[in-house]
């Protein structure tokens, strides 16, 4: 009887018993990380990274320019990037675009490429 009384007292004094985790951890955004991603496959180890302050999930899409000046998709690089900004780079034979996101977990998976 004494044991039941002590257990009841503990549960009354600790109403948030099941919620003793760090609330920051619950809002942590996760991103994919892969050096060479192409058509749904990672050609090295697919891992993940968690965003730190001032970071975003990043997709770097790399294209090859054809003789006619058209862009042909080559591969993507997925990562967590500090001070990320959406940018397009255009060279004489290559094009790259950087797309940043931090609105949801694993938002840096390329779509349509």
Q: How many CB atoms lie within 10 A of CB 49?
A: 17
- pLDDT at res. 10: 46
Residues forming a β-bridge with 104: none
Residue 112 has pLDDT above 50, yes or no: yes
Check: CB of residue 107 under 8 Å from CB of residue 57. yes
Q: What is the pLDDT of residues 97-109, one digit of tens each?
A: 999 999 999 999 9
Question: pLDDT (tens digit, 9 = 90+) per residue, 81-98?
Answer: 999 999 999 988 899 999
Would you give the distance in Å from CA 5 to the centre of its chain?
48
- What are the distances in angstroms from CA 63 to CA 28, 59, 86? 32, 13, 16
Length of the chain: 113
N- to C-terminal Cα separation, the chain? 67
The pLDDT, as a whole number, for residue 86 is 97
CA 51/CA 29 separation, integer angstroms: 6
pLDDT of residue 22: 46
pLDDT digits (tens, 9 = 90+) for 19-70: 444 444 457 899 999 999 999 999 999 999 999 999 999 999 999 999 888 9
pTM comes to 0.72
């Amino acid at each position: 009887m004494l044991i039941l009384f002590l257990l009841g007292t503990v549960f009354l004094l600790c109403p948030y018993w099941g919620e003793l985790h760090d609330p920051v951890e619950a809002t942590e955004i996760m991103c994919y990380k892969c050096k060479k991603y192409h058509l749904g496959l990672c050609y090295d180890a697919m891992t993940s990274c968690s965003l730190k302050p001032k970071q975003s999930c990043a997709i770097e899409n790399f294209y090859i320019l054809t003789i006619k000046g058209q862009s042909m998709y080559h591969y993507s690089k997925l990562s967590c990037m500090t001070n990320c900004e959406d940018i397009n780079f255009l060279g004489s034979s290559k094009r790259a675009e950087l797309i940043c996101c931090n609105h949801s977990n694993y938002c840096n998976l390329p779509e349509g490429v």
